[in-house]
């Protein structure tokens, strides 16, 4: 079993871009909720700036005035922003088109149809129908994952696509936590503070995890528990721990199929072991921010090592 290196690379990036498009939609959703709170204009702009920082699109917005309109359009429709939702779809579709033979008809058609509909996302319409637009984006991404899940052969190609999803998702969760880490720090906790409470729920909203969190923690919003949920809880599908469970599963399967282990296997195993050993108290004790930037760096290294191991 083996596949063209270029195919592996295109599949890896295709799913990454789709995951990113979905994450962008969630981030804008979070920003929109924050903006609905009564506040002065500067606070509202700050919220959008933190959304932009979490999205990794800060360079695109450099030197521009940020308000809701600029942030929403920049993150959704602006093709000059390489990580905007529209750009992500463009690139995912480009990747998919280069490796059409590696995709099932249903997966391809799902993605292609979504891409064909991008033309309908005019600025005016996005601003007017923002919630519907965001739902549409999330829906298309889910539909693609579903089509791939239901129809694709479980071979190495599928595995490279899976790796793209979880590398990107882990990255997004970590960056989102980092941007909001100051709200999660105990010293900023104002007992009963409505705004902070809203901040925490928004973080959970951005990960589509609010209801899941209620089930797991019975509605007890404490910063520790939110961080625990998004970093260490194996049953939260957007947590770092869950992403790495998936990553290590895929990498082990590849190692068995190819009969070889590589540095990427070592790095992923190390991260999984570290997550098993540590508890949330230690993370806060050693510094949440330091933990998060360390994990982002390790995640990036892993992505690089995967490419090196499989020649792409």
Q: What's the gap between Cα 305 and its chain centre?
A: 20
CB of 147 to other proteins, least distance (A): 13
Q: Which is nearer to other proteins, 5 or 43 (CB)?
A: 5
CA atoms of 280 and 231, how far apart (whole Å): 8
Quick one: which segment of 22-30, 99-107, 130-138, 284-292 binds other proteins (CB under 8 A)? 99-107
Residue 3 within binding range of other proteins, rule CB under 8 A: yes
Instruction: State the minimum distance, in angstroms, from the CB of residue 10 to other proteins.
Output: 10
Torsion sign over Cα 308, 83, 20, 280 = positive
Give how far Cα 97 sits from Cα of 6, 117, 153, Å.
12, 16, 18
Which residue in the set 39, 53, 98, 136 belongs to the binding site for other proteins (CB under 8 A)?
A: 98
* Whole-number Å distance between alpha carbons of 200 and 30: 10
Residue from 22, 29, 68, 156 binding other proteins (CB under 8 A): 156
Q: Contact between 143 and other proteins (CB under 8 A)?
A: no
Distance of CA 308 to the CA centre of its chain: 23
Residue 187 Cβ, how far from other proteins at the closest point, in Å?
Answer: 48
Nearer to other proteins, 39 or 112 (CB): 112
Binding-site member from 17, 48, 61, 108 for other proteins (CB under 8 A): 108
Tokens of 31: 């920003």
DSSP per-residue codes, 161-225 = HHHHHHHHHHHHHHHHHHHTHHHHSGGGPPTT-HHHHHHHHHHHHHTT-HHHHHHHHTT---HHH
Q: Which residues, other chains included, contact 25 with Cβ-Cβ below 8 Å and sequence gap of 6+?
A: 85, 134, 137, 138, 141
User: Binder to other proteins among 36, 58, 67, 109 (CB under 8 A)?
Assistant: 109
Distance CA(2)–CA(104), nearest Å, equals 18
Residue 73 and residue 123 in contact, taking contact as beta carbons nearer than 8 Å:
yes
To other proteins, the closest distance from the beta carbon of 260 in angstroms equals: 8
Supply the DSSP string of 112-144, one letter for each residue: HHHHHHGGG--HHHHHHTHHHHHHHHHHHHHHH
CB of 9 vs other proteins, minimal distance in Å? 9
Closest distance of CB 2 from other proteins, Å: 4
Identify residues 245-304 at the interface with other proteins (CB under 8 A): 258
Out of 58, 59, 105, 290, name the contact with other proteins by CB under 8 A.
Answer: 105
The residue range among 93-101, 128-136, 224-232, 283-291 that interacts with other proteins, by the rule CB under 8 A, is 93-101
Nearer Cβ to other proteins (8/45): 8
Q: Does 112 bind other proteins (CB under 8 A)?
A: yes
Among 116, 142, 150, 297, binds other proteins (CB under 8 A): 116
Which parts of 47-76 interact with other proteins (CB under 8 A)?
Answer: none
Residues 6+ apart with CB under 8 A from 138: 22, 25, 26
- Give the shortest CB-254-to-other proteins separation in angstroms: 8
| Nearest to other proteins of 56, 164 (CB atom) | 164
Asked if 305 and 264 count as a contact pair (C-beta separation under 8 A), the reply is yes
CA 43 to chain centre: 25
For residues 240 and 254, which CB has a smaller minimum distance to other proteins in the complex? Answer: 254
User: Which spans of this chain sit near other proteins (rule: CB under 8 A)?
Assistant: 1-8, 94, 97-101, 105, 108-109, 112-113, 116, 156, 160, 258, 310-312
């Amino acid at each position: 079993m083996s596949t063209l290196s270029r195919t592996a690379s295109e599949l890896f990036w295709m799913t990454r871009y789709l995951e990113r498009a979905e994450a962008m939609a969630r981030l804008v959703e979070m920003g929109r909720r924050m903006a609905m709170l009564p506040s002065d204009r500067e606070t509202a702009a700050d919220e959008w700036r933190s959304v932009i920082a979490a999205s990794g699109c800060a360079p695109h917005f450099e030197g521009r005035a940020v308000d809701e309109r600029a942030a929403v359009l920049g993150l959704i429709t602006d093709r000059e922003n390489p990580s905007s939702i529209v750009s992500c779809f463009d690139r995912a579709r480009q990747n998919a088109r280069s490796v059409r033979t590696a995709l099932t008809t249903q997966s391809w058609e799902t993605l292609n149809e979504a891409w064909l509909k991008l033309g309908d996302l005019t600025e005016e319409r996005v601003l007017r129908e923002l919630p519907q637009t965001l739902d549409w984006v999330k829906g298309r991404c889910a539909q693609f994952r579903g089509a791939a899940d239901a129809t694709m052969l479980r071979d190495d190609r599928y595995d490279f696509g899976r790796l793209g999803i979880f590398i990107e998702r882990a990255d997004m969760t970590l960056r989102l936590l980092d941007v909001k880490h100051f709200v999660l720090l105990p010293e900023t906790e104002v007992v009963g503070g409505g705004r902070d409470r809203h901040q925490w729920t928004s973080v959970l909203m951005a990960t589509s995890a609010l209801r899941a969190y209620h089930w797991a923690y019975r509605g007890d919003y404490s910063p520790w528990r939110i961080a625990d949920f998004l970093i260490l809880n194996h049953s939260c599908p957007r947590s770092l721990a869950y992403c790495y469970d998936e990553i290590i599963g895929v990498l082990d399967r590849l190692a068995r199929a190819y009969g070889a282990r590589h540095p990427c296997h070592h790095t992923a195993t190390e991260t999984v072991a570290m997550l098993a050993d540590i508890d949330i108290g230690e993370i806060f004790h050693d510094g949440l921010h330091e933990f998060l930037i360390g994990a982002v760096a390790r995640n990036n290294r892993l992505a690089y090592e995967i490419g090196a191991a499989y020649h792409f």
